[in-house]
């Protein structure tokens, strides 16, 4: 393949990549819109208890084996 052929192939691949990306985004946006209609936007603080924070994880008491 000569130099011009490589350039043409590269341009074709770039154009197809851009088109496929735009279609992917459009389909993803449609899917997200449908999910929002089904379940709402969510938003706000997470529900449930706050996460448990384990401090000083590498201390002796937390690394002892259960013998």
Domain ranges of the chain: 1-39
- Residue pair 9/1 in contact by the 8 Å Cβ criterion: yes
Secondary structure (H, E, C), 14-29: HHHHHHHHHHHHHHHH
The answer to whether residue 44 scores a pLDDT higher than 80 is no
The answer to whether residue 7 scores a pLDDT higher than 90 is yes
Q: Could you tell me the CA-to-CA distances from 39 to 17, 42, 43, 45, 46 in Å, in that order?
A: 32, 7, 11, 16, 15
Residue 61: predicted pLDDT: 59
Residue 47: predicted pLDDT: 76
């Amino acid at each position: 393949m000569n130099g011009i052929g490589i350039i043409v192939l590269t341009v074709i691949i770039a154009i197809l990549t851009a088109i496929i990306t735009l279609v992917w985004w459009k389909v993803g946006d449609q899917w997200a819109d449908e999910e929002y209609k089904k379940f709402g936007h969510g938003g706000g603080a997470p529900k449930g208890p706050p996460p448990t924070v384990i401090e000083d994880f590498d201390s002796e008491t937390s690394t002892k084996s259960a013998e």
